[in-house]
Structure 1
Amino acid sequence: MYAISLGEDGAELRPLEPWHAEEFLAHLDRGREFIGRFIAFGAGSTDVPSARAQLQRYADMRAAGTGSLHGLWLDGKLVGGVLFLNFDADQGNCEVGCWLEPAASGRGLVTRAMRILIDHAVEERGIHRVEWVAAAGNVPSLNVARRLGMSRDGVLRQKHPHHGVRHDLEVWSVLAPEWRAARADADGEDR
């Protein structure tokens, strides 16, 4: 399988597979409260069998071409991940997302990994629109969307019930031509 370096800090992007269930569960347990502030990702993974089942769902989605899950490792330790929640190559649309445990936040890991995922979606799979949806209060997540050059499409008012509160969801997106132009500008700056 692949392991893509995310820089000189020892960070890597790798697939998260069902056989990672114990490591995935330990990671979720370390960050469960932090991760669960705005999303329910991993809430149903409370033991090894349920963690394996969640990873298997994403492995099945990857096989069907409708989604996928990728882990972020820092110095050999799983600390978070990025994913395609919805992937519709026929329509040219996908939704991406992320999660991290507290020790990994603030390092730019999600932004670096997401650039790889979006490059793959746009250049290899022909995706035209990449969407990012986050709770309005999830400032770190919204900042990633900004750093990726996404545009804020709008707000879905009180759309997301989580922990007894209805949260506004912000919808951000980048279109393939915008992504390509931004990547070309960044490549030109690197020269």
Structure 2
Amino acid sequence: MYAISLGDDGAELCPLEPWQAEEFVAHVDRGREFIGRYIPLPDVVADLESGRAYLRSYAEKAAADTGRIYGIRADGKLVGAFIVRKMDVAQGVAEVGCWLEPAGVGKGLVTRAARAVIDWAVEERGIHRIEWQASTANESSIAVARRLGMSKDGVLRESFLSGGERHDMEMWSVLAPEWRAGKQAAARA
């Protein structure tokens, strides 16, 4: 299996596959409360069978070229994931998302993983618009969108039900020309 280096600290991004369900479920269990604050993943991945089904759904998306799931590893340990939740190559639109367990927080892992995956989507798959949704209460996720050079498109009021509670969701996006311009500016700096 391949891994993409996320920097000098040994962090890596690698595909997650159904055969890794046991490790995946253990990761979700370690961060169940933390992860579940803003996304319903802990409700979906409750045991080995549901973990395997979740990873299988992304394997099917990868085979159909409509999505992907990547594990974020720090010191060889799975501490998070980055997903291409939806991808429509014909329309040139993809939605991305992520989560971390507490052991992965504060290391810049999501921002680095996002840069790698967004760059792949734009440069390899020809995606024109990358979308990022975050609960208005999820300041960390919104900060990542800003660091990625995304623009806030608006707020979808009470559009997401998680934990029995309705959340307002901010929609952020970056267009391929903006993404490329941001990379060029960073290279010159």
The TM-score with structure 1 as length reference comes to 0.97
Structure 2 residues not aligned, in runs of 5+: none
Counterpart Cα distance in 2 of 1:56 and 1:165: 28
Pair 1:157-2:152 in alignment: no
Amino acid at match of 1:7: G
Amino acid at match of 2:177: P
Matches within 5 A, 1:61-100: 61-100=61-100
Provide the residue aligned with 1:180 in structure 2: 180
Matches within 5 A, 1:1-191: 1-189=1-189
Counterpart Cα distance in 2 of 1:164 and 1:5: 38
User: Aligned residue pairs: how many?
Assistant: 189
User: 2:137 is paired with a residue of what secondary structure?
Assistant: coil
Q: Conserved in 1, the CA contact under 8 Å of 2:40 and 2:163? A: no
Q: Deviation digits for residues 133-185 of structure 1, max 9, x if unmatched?
A: 01000000010000000000000111112222211000000000000000011
- In the TM superposition, residue 131 of structure 1 has moved relative to its aligned partner by 0.3
- In the TM superposition, residue 42 of structure 1 has moved relative to its aligned partner by 3.9
Counterpart Cα distance in 2 of 1:168 and 1:155: 7
User: 1:43 is paired with a residue of what secondary structure?
Assistant: helix
User: 2:43 is paired with a residue of what secondary structure?
Assistant: coil
Amino acid at match of 2:79: V
Counterpart Cα distance in 1 of 2:35 and 2:163: 13
User: 2:44 is paired with a residue of what secondary structure?
Assistant: coil
Structure 1 residues not aligned, in runs of 5+: none
Deviation above 2 Å: which 4+ runs of structure 1?
none
User: 1:106 is paired with a residue of what secondary structure?
Assistant: coil
Counterpart Cα distance in 1 of 2:163 and 2:15: 30
Counterpart Cα distance in 2 of 1:44 and 1:121: 26
Q: Conserved in 1, the CA contact under 8 Å of 2:66 and 2:87? A: yes
- Alpha-carbon RMSD across the aligned residues, in angstroms, is 0.8
Counterpart Cα distance in 1 of 2:3 and 2:42: 23
Which shows bigger deviation, 176-185 or 46-55? 46-55
The TM-score with structure 2 as length reference comes to 0.98
Q: 1:148 to 1:107 in 2, by over 3 A?
A: same
Q: Deviation digits for residues 52-106 of structure 1, max 9, x if unmatched?
A: 1110110010010000100001111000010100100000000000010011111
Amino acid at match of 2:83: L
Amino acid at match of 1:106: G
